Amino acid sequence: MDEKKEEIEKEENPIPEESEDSVGEEGVEVEKISTEELSSILASHNKEELARIFEEVPDIDIAEAADKLEVEELIRMFRDVPSEMTANVFDELAQDTKENLIKAMTDKELVKLLNEQYADDLADTVGDMPANLASRVLKNASKDMREDLNELLKYKKDTAGAIMTTEYLEFRESTKVEDTIDLIRKKGRDAETVYTIFVRDNKRKFVGTVDLDDLIFAEKDQTLSDIMNVDIPNVHANTDKEEVANLFRRYDLNAIAVLNDDDCLIGIVTIDDAVDVMTQESTEDIEKMNAVTPIDDSYLETHPFTMAKKCVPWIVVLLILGTFSSMVLSQFQDKIAALSILSAFIPVLMDTGGNAGGQTIALVIRGLALKEFNPRQTAKILWQEFRSSLIIAFFISLFAVLWFTLEQMFGIVSNPQIFTGQLAIKYGVSEGTIGTIFNGLIWNWDWFSPTLRVSFVVAGTLFIAVVVSKMFAVLLPMGAAAIKKDPAIVSQPVLTTIVDVTSLLIYFGIAELLLLNPPWGGGLI
Amino acid sequence: MDEKKEEIEKEENPIPEESEDSVGEEGVEVEKISTEELSSILASHNKEELARIFEEVPDIDIAEAADKLEVEELIRMFRDVPSEMTANVFDELAQDTKENLIKAMTDKELVKLLNEQYADDLADTVGDMPANLASRVLKNASKDMREDLNELLKYKKDTAGAIMTTEYLEFRESTKVEDTIDLIRKKGRDAETVYTIFVRDNKRKFVGTVDLDDLIFAEKDQTLSDIMNVDIPNVHANTDKEEVANLFRRYDLNAIAVLNDDDCLIGIVTIDDAVDVMTQESTEDIEKMNAVTPIDDSYLETHPFTMAKKCVPWIVVLLILGTFSSMVLSQFQDKIAALSILSAFIPVLMDTGGNAGGQTIALVIRGLALKEFNPRQTAKILWQEFRSSLIIAFFISLFAVLWFTLEQMFGIVSNPQIFTGQLAIKYGVSEGTIGTIFNGLIWNWDWFSPTLRVSFVVAGTLFIAVVVSKMFAVLLPMGAAAIKKDPAIVSQPVLTTIVDVTSLLIYFGIAELLLLNPPWGGGLI
């Protein structure tokens, strides 16, 4: 955006309703534009105004307005505005808009357009194109560009090779500082960044980078090897792009070198591409953690049927997994029938177990994603989580005993008249008077008090369920990472299913022991 | 990192076990260092080797090794290495390491250290310090630095003011290009970035930015106003930092201007700080979505008790909310007692509802965080989600009828002998022969077939539960955002609780209608 500009007019116009997903309402005064405004300017053939727009409105905002234009308007826009101005706007357009535009363009216009593009962005676009369009683009691209594109298109998705650009500045380490600056003036315009200059030795091997500011601060007669940084990381073309993003995050890089197996520079990744990767990876993790197959387009652009395709499979899988909890419950149907108060606590049991595990699984998955720790540390994490889970389980079940007892005393869940029979016999009174005795039982902590016993059963189950659930929540993602699978796919719902079964088994096990027929007698059924 | 360097030695040493959370195993050849190596070098007083380490090992790796050093070793390190070299390493140290170091330093050493620091980083450190240490730092800071610190410390947490730096390059728009370059050479070293230069008019108002590369490509006699960008956003000191991060993401910025209410530049935020914000915000969202109060330190540095403090409150809240589902269930205890097969499907019902809602809530929260849409579009999102939820619900319940019928036929969940009584009467046969008749009933789709009826009840509930759950999953976060609350706090577990109650009510409602006593008679109990 280095267009000339005679005087400055800063307009403070509010963001028009049309640009609904406009960011930065607060404190941002950059001019926005709506599809309507844009198309009316195009209709009026007012090239000056159009040029002004392209100078003063950010490319992405123009692009978003342009996405909703008719193809005729679109093609006119690209004809009325010099191609060096439209270059970035084209890059920001939606994929299908780009394709329609290219379809409508003459070869001559296409050549002009392509020459202004960066190879890596264009490669992404071409990669998603139907074959016939893609070949048309390659046909009209300059020889160098075509080579760059073919180079970039051959790398596996999600690798450094796929997101790198081949337009960078590389100089010999023996180059003098002043010569470098001249070279940058000459060649710099085509490079994606001039802030980081890459340095190679006589054997063409990559040896380091020079920051533009160091170049400016350096003495004219110094060589690049005098001032270059050697303490900066680099990656190979097959390095996972998430890995690349983590390096940017950790080392505050502006650009990183992508090397081939001979340690020669074959491309670079710049911070803006790394930021996109970070955002995308976080989104995908969040989606996977919630049993959604990652969605390529933005939410609003996703068609209901596509959405269904992304959502149904996992739910069905989990529904099938849910069979196990059904099995367990139907095994214990007689117990439930006999002591149906047990069923009242099933949801809270399963939810609490799931929530406790969900907390841990989220922390572990995120920690793995940000490389805070790695699968080799499973034992360490497991131990740390075990200690905290004991504390957490203790406080939760302590509260649970209290809460569940109150729930029963105040009849929020059915007060267990079912027991009155046994109580009447034990205390040799009529069932009518039991009600009064009943609460008394709680206060003098008669172990027979069914209310307390139910509370202890549920709270006890909670304690075990929380600890077990948090252990699973460490083991599942760590295990996935250990076998080089994406930890996020071991999503919370999967954990929930596992936890449901275990906590139900624990529940009925303890109920059997303490409520139904304790070894020391006094069973309730 | 602009130290001189005579010849290049690239060492390919594997990452030592000590630096457990080392990133970039793949393709990264930068030298690493372990605490042991570092302390042995310090013990040997080998200043040359120490200097080499500081030149060739990334600051953050040195810092992580240094964090585990004894204070004596640490202080010696900072004495043996020139302060301009240790500046960045200090910044990367853990907070408590910094504090111990400052405690151990003489005022003279402290002054040297502080002069090398960037105001924004130092402000973060001072902000978290005990008062006595903080005041000691302020006492020893240079006058300018002290002013900067006080300035920065007064801004609210999570605002642009709190993360901005006050060390930037600002020139008049009338400044000539060549003069600018000279000025950068003179003043640039103290600025946090020289890649973006900020331009003001004679009234000191911010009018635009100039990228360093444009400066290099420009003619010597052009003025900054000729080449500056006016189509770039800026923020105010009170702008939320998440907002700032989104602007970097959207407009691929290198640095952004922070203005006061008079539109004068008071600071800048650079991309590296913005990246930290992005990472932190994603992590916090993931934590909140999973009912964890955001954790400040990294997972490994968090003490079990702290972890418990972050995890227990939400679980207790959800446990209390769980009371409602217990209430519902205990209301229907008699039904469950009469037809206990109903209880077998409770877990799968609630999980599926929760999972379906979880998918939507994740997409909505992320979309809001990335400003893909805003609360004003609630109706639009609701409509889009409603359509896809119908499709999803249809396929799920279709599958459910099939699956649950099979579950019953193959006795995975208890085969409903409970009905044999009614069946025997209806078909006038002995209960013994019912078993054989029973499956027949399914194949000739006798509506009375209890198996099919149970399946339809559960599948029907699933259909409604999925749609309702996804509607809640849109309304909850959108509502939170509308009243300027963090959508992520309306986390999946909260949704689950709501969904549990509704789906249970629906479940027993339909069961009542189709199974227990249908208006058209033929009830099962």
Question: What value does the CA radius of gyration of chain A take, rounded to a whole number of Å?
Answer: 33
Which residues constitute the domain of residue A266? 170-289
Q: Is residue A11 in a domain?
A: no
Chain A residues whose CB is inside 8 A of the B365 CB are 286
Q: Say whether residue A268 is in contact with chain B using an 8 A CB cutoff.
A: no
Q: List the 330-369 stretch of A: residues with Cβ below 8 A of B.
A: 330, 333-334, 336-337, 340-341, 343-348, 350-352, 354-356, 358-359, 361-367
Q: Say whether residue B275 is in contact with chain A using an 8 A CB cutoff.
A: yes
Shared domain for B511 and B432, answered yes or no, is yes
Query: What's the gap in Å between the CA of B90 and the closest CA on chain A?
Result: 15
B215 to chain A: nearest residue by CA? Answer: A2
Q: Is residue A296 in a domain?
A: no
Shared domain for A353 and A397, answered yes or no, is yes
Contacts of A279 (CB under 8 A, 6+ apart): B249, B278, B370
Whether A88 and A59 have beta carbons less than 8 Å apart is answered as yes
> What CATH number does residue A54 fall under?
1.25.60.10
Query: What's the gap in Å between the CA of A243 and the closest CA on chain B?
Result: 6
B306 to chain A: nearest residue by CA? Answer: A388
Domain boundary among A289, A313, A342: A289
B499-520 residue pLDDT tens? 889 999 999 888 888 776 766 6
Helices (H), B297-339: 304-321, 323-331, 333-338
- Cβ within 8 Å, pair B384-A235: no
Shared domain for A140 and A190, answered yes or no, is no
Chain B residues whose CB is inside 8 A of the A343 CB are 329, 333, 336, 343, 346
Whether B62 and B33 have beta carbons less than 8 Å apart is answered as yes
Q: Is residue A376 in a domain?
A: yes
Whether A235 and B30 have beta carbons less than 8 Å apart is answered as no
Domain boundary among B259, B289, B319: B289
Q: List the 124-163 stretch of B: residues with Cβ below 8 A of A.
A: 160
Q: Say whether residue A252 is in contact with chain B using an 8 A CB cutoff.
A: yes
Nearest to B23 among A21, A250, A318 (CB): A250
Domain boundary among B105, B124, B154: B154
Shared domain for A266 and A318, answered yes or no, is no
- Cβ within 8 Å, pair A234-B184: no
Q: State the Cα–Cα distance between residues A162 and A140, nearest whole angstrom.
A: 22
Q: Is residue B162 in a domain?
A: no
How many domains does chain B contain in total?
Answer: 3
> What CATH number does residue A456 fall under?
1.10.357.20
- Cβ within 8 Å, pair B412-A323: yes
Q: Say whether residue B487 is in contact with chain A using an 8 A CB cutoff.
A: no
Sign of the alpha-carbon torsion through B236, B373, B251, A48: negative
Looking at residue B21, its pLDDT comes to: 38
**For residue A412, what is the enclosing H or E element?**
none
Query: What's the gap in Å between the CA of B413 and the closest CA on chain A?
Result: 5
Shared domain for A250 and A146, answered yes or no, is no
Nearest to B330 among A160, A228, A413 (CB): A413
Whether B212 and B336 have beta carbons less than 8 Å apart is answered as no
- CB contacts < 8 A (A, B): 509
Q: State the Cα–Cα distance between residues A190 and B213, nearest whole angstrom.
A: 12
Q: Is residue B466 in a domain?
A: yes
Chain A residues whose CB is inside 8 A of the B255 CB are none
Looking at residue A422, its pLDDT comes to: 53
B252-279 residue pLDDT tens? 899 999 998 888 998 999 999 999 999 9
Shared domain for B215 and B84, answered yes or no, is no
Q: List the 86-115 stretch of A: residues with Cβ below 8 A of B.
A: none
Q: Is residue B508 in a domain?
A: yes
A8-61 residue pLDDT tens? 333 333 333 333 333 334 444 567 788 888 888 888 888 888 888 888 888 888
Shared domain for A140 and A176, answered yes or no, is no
Shared domain for B125 and B206, answered yes or no, is no
Chain B residues whose CB is inside 8 A of the A401 CB are none
- Mutation pick from B174, B206, B230, B239 vs chain A, by most beta carbons of A within 10 Å, is B230
Per-residue three-class SS string for A241-252 = HHHHHHHHHHHC
Chain B residues whose CB is inside 8 A of the A227 CB are 2, 4-5
When pLDDT is averaged across residues A175-203 and rounded to a whole number, the result is: 90
Shared domain for A285 and A311, answered yes or no, is no
Shared domain for B193 and B260, answered yes or no, is yes
A230 to chain B: nearest residue by CA? Answer: B56
- Cβ within 8 Å, pair B28-A233: yes
Here the tokens at position A456 are 């202890």
Whether A152 and A119 have beta carbons less than 8 Å apart is answered as yes
Q: Is residue B450 in a domain?
A: yes
Shared domain for B144 and B198, answered yes or no, is no
The complex's ipTM works out to 0.73
> What CATH number does residue B213 fall under?
3.10.580.10
Q: What is the dihedral of CA B397, B400, B404, B406, to 10 degrees?
A: 130
B320-365 residue pLDDT tens? 888 888 888 888 877 776 676 788 888 888 888 988 998 899 889 8
Partner residues linked to B206 by β-bridges: B200
- Cβ within 8 Å, pair A396-B316: yes
**For residue A357, what is the enclosing H or E element?**
helix A346-369
Looking at residue A24, its pLDDT comes to: 39
Confidence of residue A171 (pLDDT cuts 50, 70, 90): very high
Burial B220-246 (b: 16+ CB within 10 A, else e): eebbbbbbbbbbbbbbbbbbbbbbbbb
Whether B152 and B164 have beta carbons less than 8 Å apart is answered as yes
Query: What's the gap in Å between the CA of B378 and the closest CA on chain A?
Result: 12
Shared domain for B440 and B511, answered yes or no, is yes
B379-396 residue pLDDT tens? 999 999 999 999 999 999
Confidence of residue B448 (pLDDT cuts 50, 70, 90): low
Looking at residue A14, its pLDDT comes to: 37
B107-133 residue pLDDT tens? 888 888 888 888 888 888 888 888 788
Partner residues linked to A259 by β-bridges: A236, A265
Helices (H), A252-297: 271-289
The predicted model scores a pTM of 0.75
Whether A207 and A159 have beta carbons less than 8 Å apart is answered as no
Question: What value does the CA radius of gyration of chain B take, rounded to a whole number of Å?
Answer: 33
Here the tokens at position B56 are 């060739």
Q: Is residue B464 in a domain?
A: yes
Chain B residues whose CB is inside 8 A of the A247 CB are 23-24, 28
- A443: pLDDT strictly greater than 70: no
Q: Say whether residue B475 is in contact with chain A using an 8 A CB cutoff.
A: no
